[in-house]
Amino acid sequence: MEPTNVKQLLKKKPKANLGFYPTPFYRLENLSKKLGIDLFIKREDFSGQSLFGGNKIRKLEYLIGDAKEQGAEYIFTFGATQSNHALQTVEACRKEGLTPILYLVAYVEPDENDLRSNLLLDRILGAEVHVILKNPGESDAEVDARSVKLAREHMARLTEKGHRCYEIPMGGASPIGTTGFIDGFVEIVEQAKAVGQSFDYLIHATGSGGTMAGLVAGKKLLDHPMRVVSFDVIGHDASYLENSAALANESLEQLGAADRLTADDFEHDNNYYLPGYEMPSDAANDAIRLLAREEGLFLDPVYSGKAFAGMLDYIKKGIIPQGSPVIFLHTGGATALFAEKEILGNLLEK
């Protein structure tokens, strides 16, 4: 399918105008020379209406569009206390006249007397924020499930009073949200064509899976040879790729496309997220410093720093061969550089 045909499918979906697209796309001259590859960067951190954009804005254009079509008043969503998705959802709600309600899990417990980064911005924006503390012995999956349960009870109370609520899952990872990165993949292909370059690799960080599902679905629709390599920022079990394929397939079905994915269509690596979500790694902090000092650009320690570290290791090991043309998708989140010290680790020690 040609990009113009995919765009015609996308036009069928309700969409809010939240982002500034296309986002910048250009070559990293210093690092290309240093690393021996042809490295371009796609600046999804420049996507949003505020200084604090990121990859979630593309998803939210379709999610908020759907919410408004359904007559929603309240938007509920989830994440960690420093969630980029939660912040971008609040920004989108404020622009579109909706009321944002957040249920956020404290993987790193915030100090209410010294709020930082995204949680501070959520409060400035006037979001209703519910911070969920982990109980002793409670797993990440259990506390996430408890957060959703509490939010749905809240939604039920509002619904009983005659209000319309709309639930956006963590990371915007729904079939509707995934549509945003089918759109995004088309944009990347068109930008690559405009600079006369054919790319072998598209590198990005993956958490809840919606961005990954959309990119791979877009690749499938266009029958494009570029490899989408996704570096996990949280531990995932064997069901992750099956669930991502199902997410992509439902999104494709909603667009009326016949293409379908399986788990084998995904290429992801779960070896670079440790010691855990919102826990810094030495390799990610080295990657943050490298990009900052070579190109004057900032990554974050939770998402893009770990994906960039994975890419650097692939280059070092020859998994990405010398001379390869590579795109790094900067998903935003540099506000995490102003988060709690537990998230930053040894970033300032070198």
In percent, how much of the chain has pLDDT > 90? 94
Residues 6+ positions from 273 with CB-CB distance below 8 Å:
231, 232, 233, 234, 235, 281, 306
- pLDDT digits over 259-303, tens only? 999 999 999 999 999 999 999 999 999 999 999 999 999 999 999
pLDDT of residue 4: 94
- The predicted model gives 299-318 an average pLDDT of 97
Q: What is the arithmetic mean of pLDDT over 110-114?
A: 92
Measured CA angle at 270 (ends 235, 33), to 5 deg: 135
Report which of 149, 101, 141 is spatially closest to residue 122, judged by C-alpha positions: 101
Quick one: pLDDT at residue 238? 85
Whether the CB-CB separation of 244 and 266 falls below 8 Å is answered with yes
With a CB cutoff of 8 Å and minimum separation 6, the contacts of 183 are 10, 58, 214, 218
Does 275 sit behind a cis peptide bond, omega within 30 degrees of 0 on the bond before it? yes
CA distance 127 to 54: 19
Order the strands of the 74-80 sheet from edge to edge: 128-133, 99-106, 74-80, 165-167
Residue 350, pLDDT above cutoff 80: no
Averaged pLDDT, 93-104:
98
User: What is each CA distance from 174 to 59, 138, 163, 165, in whole angstroms?
Assistant: 9, 26, 23, 16
What is d(CA 49, CA 93) in angstroms, rounded to the nearest whole number? 12
Query: Where would I find the beta strands (DSSP E) of the chain?
Result: 25-27, 38-43, 74-80, 99-106, 128-133, 165-167, 201-206, 227-232, 267-269, 325-330
Query: How far is 186 from 201, CA to CA, in rounded Å?
Result: 15
Q: Which sequence positions are flagged as catalytic?
A: 83
pLDDT of residue 137: 93
Can you give the pLDDT at residue 50?
Answer: 85
